[in-house]
Amino acid sequence: MNRKEETTLPWHRLGDERLAAQIDFIVRIDRLKSVARQTLLTDRSRRENSAEHSWHLALMALLLTEYAREPVDGVRVMKMVLAHDLVEIDAGDTFCYDENAKQGQHARELAAAERIFALLPDDQAAELRALWDEFEARCTPEARFAAALDRLQPLFNNYLTRGGTWQEHDVVCAQVRRRIAPIADGSPRLAEVAAAVISAAVEEGYLKD
């Protein structure tokens, strides 16, 4: 959206720069719905997109905060998981088991964070950027719990699609165990759930031991 296009939009004609910037941001983040992830929907009809993933994590945060290792601010966790993948509008989704694609991932996402969050008014830009940085650093109980949810949700989908992404990319059990290890930092109880899912996936032939 360029400056000329902005001046023709109805909300830019109201003379409220803050509101116009907020609505511009809301419109721009619609692009997250077009960022495809590797994870299949549980009905196996298609791959989920990053907006759907973020929504799913927010609902998990609403329901599961009682299982966090330490007391957490559930609203802050919800904000964090809703904001954590907005950088993928620019950087795209990086498949967690693709070591080549992961090269330069942080630099790509950092550049995206600089651009995307700066579209908001300064106070909201600072808030969302701080949430993104906190999630990336996993330096607080909220960030560790948010990261646990982020690792757990694809695990459910891969099990329920009979191996889904694991089968497609020849992923083995050791790789999945390494991937989900941070769950224990955020929630020992959810780490037990993850371990049970992996054991069942191996037993049922969805995941190579």
In a domain, 80, yes or no: yes
**Predicted confidence (pLDDT) per residue in 170-202, tens digit:** 999 999 999 999 999 999 999 999 999 999 999
Tell whether the model's pLDDT for residue 152 goes beyond 80.
yes
Give the integer Cα–Cα distance in Å for 21 and 190.
Answer: 39
In a domain, 76, yes or no: yes
In a domain, 175, yes or no: yes
In a domain, 128, yes or no: yes
Tell me which residue range forms the domain holding 71: 3-203
Question: Domains in the chain: how many in total?
Answer: 1
Residue 92 identity: G
- What is the average per-residue pLDDT within 14-25? 96
- What is the average per-residue pLDDT within 68-77? 98
Give pLDDT, residue 5.
61
In a domain, 20, yes or no: yes
In a domain, 209, yes or no: no
Question: For all residues of the chain together, what is the average pLDDT?
Answer: 95
pLDDT band (50, 70, 90) for residue 102:
confident
The pTM is what?
0.93
**CATH number, position 55:** 1.10.3210.10
